Chains A and B, each alone.
Chain A
């Protein structure tokens, strides 16, 4: 660790991992409710568990992004963070606000929570992913502003690199587009249209800039390839992201009451969205192949390459699968959507945060560059367990989705929704089993922080022997 203030990243990473465990436990509850409908009913109905699952995901990814920024920016700017104290304060504010919100979901009926937090004053609740009480949303804005000030000032006063600049643009965009969550008109069509300005312009827009810059940073550090080369790639990738992804928002406007020309704009531009993801894959493998040194942290490199591959599969391939409007007409809002949502979120954003944690955590815990071999081996096991299980979750949901589409929407004699759900229960059972393996992988991941912690660091020579 080159700068003392980078240490504030550590609590952010620890919180991220803790909330990740919570997210997966609730995922398993959801998966069980899919096949045992009365599980925990009426105490924790499906919608409550789902809010907890998805909101924990978003919150822990945000913790991860912020931790990544606090670690990366001082090193890029070549100076201490503007205010480590503010960063720590905001950590606690965000954690407490997040915890209270989740407890609110679990302990109070949702309508009671809406009443308690005076939702009627500025109604923003009750929309997918944006279920947080308005007061929590305002808290998120405050945390985001303090965070941007901290990061922005550090960059402004220090060395300005492409990596930190792109990260900053991504983070500012994240905050700006979040503001659309406060717009909730009675007109459902407008509500939906601008809801996507948060959700789509996040995951297929500004978050990709964050993803790209973190990936670039880790690759610079672990491969020693010339920064100039990496930065050029980064620019091209994010250029393609926004050129395709902004108009690509149209793939959500086909059936919500917007004009029908969106079927053309949305299909054509979103069909090009896999390009930047594919470039990321080529980029990551190219840089690792052209590496000038062998970094002893093999696990971090595995995560970086894994991100590049899985983001392409989940977002690029599974996104393309259902993005053309004639296909989306049948797949819209089915298990196909869920399949894509899981692999894309995992492959792109979960994995990039875990890449950064894998790279930075050894230093944050006082290592020179890497964990012990034993710890790394365990971490790599967790990589494979989680990644293979998300692939299976995706495949089972895709199977369920194809059958659902056929039975409910395509066949000559369409069946009612609930009848179809019964017929495809086997796929949901298999998804749940894959989910259990995912949990085992995640617990293995957590264990990798404790196993081999007292053993000496892996060195390049040893690591090379191990991989030979």
Chain B
């Protein structure tokens, strides 16, 4: 690097640039918070959805599935499962019917033995997720 460009200049660009862009990031985050009420489907949030989210986490569903495209890539995307499986009953039916020992030779989902109330909460959670405005992602129903 040229001599005219000194270490002190480089240091100042580092500190100045980092602080500036971090503040810009905070400002954009602030604006994002203001924009969320129109996009994040928070109207659907209730105790059952919160319980469903807790079950989603405590069973590590994201260790196989993706949700809004994030997570693992071993099993189907579930952000639009509500649409793909045909509503809450479709979701519950699928989860309930998983064989305990899996399907020989194939990827299988465990049987979690959820109570009816828990199944309902999970389905409510996935219904809530399906209502988030994701800018039209995924491209089609297959996720």
- Contact A242 B69, CB 8 Å, known A111-B58, A186-B53, A333-B77: no
CA distance A110 to B25 in the complex (A): 36
| Contact of A126 with B60 at beta-carbon distance under 8 Å, contacts A38-B102, A228-B7, A417-B142 already known | yes
Interface flags, A7-45, vs B, CB<8A=1, else 0: 000000000000000000000000001101110011001
Shortest Cβ distance from residue B58 to the other chain A in the assembled complex, whole angstroms: 4
Residues of the A chain whose Cβ atoms lie less than 8 Å from the Cβ of B71: 128, 333
Residues in A whose Cβ lies below 8 Å from that of B89: none
The segment from A87-95, A254-262, A435-443, A454-462 found at the interface with B is: A254-262
Of the residues B39, B54, B75, B105, contact of A123 by C-beta under 8 Å = B54
Q: How far is the CA of A229 from the CA of B5 in the complex (A)?
A: 11
In the bound complex, do residue B25 and residue A246 qualify as a contact, i.e. CB atoms below 8 Å apart?
yes
Contact of A46 among B56, B64, B142 (CB under 8 A): B64
Are A337 and B39 in contact, CB atoms less than 8 angstroms apart?
no
Report the separation of the CA atoms of residues A334 and B70 in the bound assembly, to the nearest whole angstrom: 9
C-beta contact mask, A389-415 vs B, less than 8 Å → 1, else 0?
000000000000000000011100011
B82-117 interface (Cβ within 8 A of A): 100-108, 110, 112
Q: In the complex, are the beta carbons of A242 and B14 less than 8 A apart?
A: yes
In the bound complex, how far is the Cα of B133 from the Cα of A296, in angstroms?
59
Please measure, in the bound complex, the distance between the C-alpha atom of A337 and the C-alpha atom of B77, giving whole angstroms.
Answer: 14
Closest chain-B Cβ to A391's Cβ sits at a distance in Å of 20
Q: A125 within 8 Å of B by Cβ?
A: yes
Instruction: Assess whether B58 is in contact with A235, with CB atoms less than 8 Å apart.
Output: no
| B63 pairs with A260, CB closer than 8 A | no
With both chains docked as a complex, state the minimum distance between the C-beta of B42 and any C-beta of chain A, in angstroms.
Answer: 6
**Contacts A41-B102, A259-B39; is A417 near B143 (CB within 8 Å)?**
yes
Chain A residue nearest to B71 in the complex (CB): A128
Contact A189 B57 (CB under 8 A): no
Residue of A nearest to B51 (CB): A186
- Using a CB–CB cutoff of 8 Å, the interface residues on chain B facing chain A are 1, 5-7, 10-11, 13-14, 17-18, 21-22, 24-25, 28-29, 31-32, 35-36, 39-42, 45, 49-50, 53-54, 56-64, 66-77, 100-108, 110, 112, 128-129, 132-135, 137-143
Q: Which listed residue, B29, B63, B108, B140, touches A409 by the CB 8 Å rule?
A: B140
Interface centre among B31, B49, B70, B101 (most CB of A within 10 A): B70
Contacts A236-B13, A242-B14 known; A263 to B135 CB distance under 8 Å?
yes
Q: Does A62 belong to the interface (CB within 8 Å)? A: no
**Given A255-B134, A333-B69, A417-B75: A239 in contact with B62 (beta carbons within 8 A):** no
Asked if A126 meets B107 with Cβ closer than 8 Å, knowing A186-B49, A188-B132, A233-B1, the reply is: no
Closest to A286 in B: B1
Closest CB pairs A-B (n = 5): A47-B63, A126-B57, A37-B107, A333-B69, A235-B10
Question: Are B72's CB and A36's CB within 8 A?
Answer: no
Of residues 234 to 261 in A, which have CB atoms within 8 Å of B's CB atoms? Answer: 235-236, 238-239, 242-243, 246-247, 249-250, 252-260
CA distance A332 to B137 in the complex (A): 9
Interface centre among A114, A189, A228 (most CB of B within 10 A): A189
A342 at the B interface (CB under 8 A): no
Chain A CB within 10 Å, residue with most, of B11, B69, B76:
B69
For residue A466, CB closer than 8 A to chain B, the reply is no
8 pairs of residues in contact across A and B, judged by CB atoms under 8 Å: A38-B104, A46-B75, A111-B58, A187-B42, A260-B135, A334-B73, A408-B143, A417-B76
Inter-chain contact A110/B59, CB cutoff 8 Å: yes
Q: Say which residue of B14, B21, B69, B141 sits within 8 Å of A255 (CB atoms).
A: B69
Query: 15 extra interchain contacts, Cβ-Cβ under 8 A, other than A188-B53, A259-B32?
Result: A41-B101, A47-B72, A51-B60, A51-B63, A111-B112, A114-B57, A123-B57, A192-B70, A246-B24, A247-B28, A253-B32, A255-B138, A256-B132, A333-B73, A408-B143
Contacts of A235 in B (CB 8 A): 7, 10-11, 13-14
Q: CA A247 – CA B22 in complex, angstroms? A: 8
CB distance from A147 to the nearest CB of B (A): 23
**Cβ-based interface call for A137 (8 A):** no
Query: For residue B14, which residues in chain A have a CB less than 8 angstroms away from its CB?
Result: 235-236, 238-239, 242
Pair A50/B63 contact, Cβ less than 8 Å? yes
A345 beta carbon closer than 8 Å to chain B: no
A126-B58, A188-B53, A417-B76 known; A246+B22 contact, CB < 8 A:
yes
Q: Which of A42, A265, A333 contacts B101 (CB 8 A)?
A: A42
